[in-house]
């Protein structure tokens, strides 16, 4: 199935349903009693000052590791800095007193293409997006229609906010951003760097200024600081120790109980860039979970569909932002 018509239809559909210049008087979003206040629907000012409705996050997606929460922090990074662990699929905003605000994240292939330290050099609210010239050249049927850039909004894969990481004056092309697919948070995805719920990236965006130091952990750093992770059949990760404890008590892990089942074949165009499964292949005859290493490692090429088994290019974070 070609994704270009699907994406175009999705983008136009969302734009058509978007608020007009008269939406300043729009009614307040409906609140869900099952969703915490910080994840309720809200209104936000769009790129041109228009009102954008951000839907509430479904309660099913708010697993314990996906929820924004203050947790003990055992790293050496200074308060105010950000630590991204793409293998444990969490982001920490370090606070004083050995604490950190932890956010659940989705990790795309590009999210494991960088490690080390960088600095936030640019912040954007409802950022625009443009495919790179290389993307347009190699897949013109998909990307040429967006050569002029895609405006910010709920139809944009970068979501409500984006943080751009640089090393000196050099763009790392590593992004921390929102999402148009909240069901992906906590999982491995085919595209993108580090995605947060739109409500969470808005919160983080307001807390961190330009110049904030960001550390992206390597796989060995993650193992040392977080311990081994286990991936559940639903595509989420939990600490192996939690799985072992649950098994010893004869219970399923909480993350597996709370997580929605993910069907990669379902016809839900939530993410037009999802060209591969969001998690490593799961064998239902196995023990119920697989150890997490790197689902995008070259040793597992079978995870890629035949159409994308060539050199992979991130359709979001390798893109040049439309300024």
In a domain, 30, yes or no: no
> Residue 150: exposed, middle, or buried by beta-carbon count in 10 A (0-12, 13-18, 19+)?
buried
16 has a pLDDT exceeding 60: no
pLDDT reading at 55 higher than 60: yes
> Any idea what the CATH number is for the domain that residue 75 is in?
2.40.440.10
Choose the catalytic residue: 17, 93, 155, 177.
177
Could you list the beta-strand ranges (E) of the chain: 42-45, 51-54, 69-72, 82-85, 90-95, 99-104, 106-107, 116-125, 161-167, 170-177, 194-195, 213-216, 229-231, 237-239, 290-291
How distant is the alpha carbon of residue 158 from its chain centre?
Answer: 9
Q: Is residue 1 part of a domain?
A: no
* Tokens of residue 191, six digits: 């595209």
Is residue 2 domain-resident? no
Query: Active site includes 93?
Result: no
- To the question of pTM greater than 0.85 for the whole model, the response is no
The arithmetic mean of pLDDT across residues 293-313, rounded, is 35
Is 125 in a helix, a strand, or coil?
strand
Mean pLDDT of the chain: 74
Q: Determine, yes or no, domain membership for 19.
A: no
Handedness of CA 285, 260, 249, 222 (dihedral sign): positive
Residue 4 placed within a domain: no
Neighbours of 116 (CB within 10 A): 13
Band the pLDDT of 112: cuts 50, 70, 90: confident
Q: What would the mean pLDDT of 53-78 be, rounded to a whole number?
A: 96
Mean of pLDDT values over 155-171: 95
In a domain, 204, yes or no: yes
- Residue scoring higher pLDDT (249 or 11): 249
Q: Catalytic: 177? A: yes
Q: Catalytic one among 17, 93, 155, 193?
A: 193
- The 10s digit of each residue's pLDDT in 129-150 is 887 788 789 889 988 888 899 9
Q: State the CB neighbour count (10 A cutoff) for residue 320.
A: 14
- Tens digits of per-residue pLDDT, 17-54? 222 223 233 344 455 558 999 999 999 999 999 999 99
22 located within any domain: no
Model confidence at 122, pLDDT cuts 50, 70, 90, reads very high
β partners of residue 162: 124, 177
For residue 162, give its domain range. 35-323
Please give the Cα distance from 87 to 296 (Å, whole number). 11
Contact 278, 189 (CB under 8 A): yes
Residue predicted with more confidence, 307 or 143: 143
User: Does residue 272 surpass a pLDDT of 60?
Assistant: no
Span 223-238, pLDDT tens digits: 999 999 999 999 999 9
Number of domains observed in the structure of the chain: 1
User: Is 70 part of a structural domain of the chain?
Assistant: yes
């Amino acid at each position: 199935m070609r994704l270009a018509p699907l994406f175009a239809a999705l983008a136009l559909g969302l734009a058509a349903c978007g608020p007009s210049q008269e939406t300043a008087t729009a009614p307040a979003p409906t609140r869900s009693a099952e969703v915490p206040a910080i994840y309720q629907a809200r209104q936000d000012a769009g790129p041109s000052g228009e009102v954008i409705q951000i839907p509430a996050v479904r309660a099913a997606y708010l697993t314990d590791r996906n929820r924004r929460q203050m947790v003990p922090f055992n790293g050496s990074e200074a308060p105010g800095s950000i630590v991204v662990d793409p293998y444990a699929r969490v982001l920490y905003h370090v606070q004083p007193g050995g604490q950190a605000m932890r956010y659940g994240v989705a990790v795309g292939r590009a999210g494991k293409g960088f490690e080390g330290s960088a600095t936030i050099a640019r912040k954007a609210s409802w950022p625009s997006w443009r495919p790179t010239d290389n993307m347009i050249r190699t897949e013109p049927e998909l990307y040429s229609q967006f050569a002029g850039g895609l405006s910010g909004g709920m139809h944009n894969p970068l979501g409500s906010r984006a943080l751009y990481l640089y090393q000196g004056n050099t763009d790392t092309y590593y992004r921390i951003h929102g999402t148009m697919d909240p069901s992906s948070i906590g999982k491995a995805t085919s595209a993108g760097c580090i995605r947060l719920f739109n409500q969470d990236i808005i919160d983080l965006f307001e807390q961190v200024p330009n110049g904030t130091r960001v550390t992206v952990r390597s796989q060995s750093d993650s193992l040392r600081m977080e311990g081994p992770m286990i991936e559940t059949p639903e595509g989420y990760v939990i600490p192996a120790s939690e799985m072992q404890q649950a098994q010893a008590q004869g219970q399923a892990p909480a993350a597996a109980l709370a997580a929605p089942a993910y069907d990669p074949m379902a016809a839900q165009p939530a993410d037009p860039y999802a060209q591969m499964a969001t998690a490593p292949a799961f064998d239902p005859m196995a023990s119920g979970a697989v150890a997490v290493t790197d689902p995008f490692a070259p040793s597992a090429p079978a995870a890629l569909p035949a159409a994308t088994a060539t050199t992979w290019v991130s359709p979001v974070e390798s893109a040049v932002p439309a300024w």
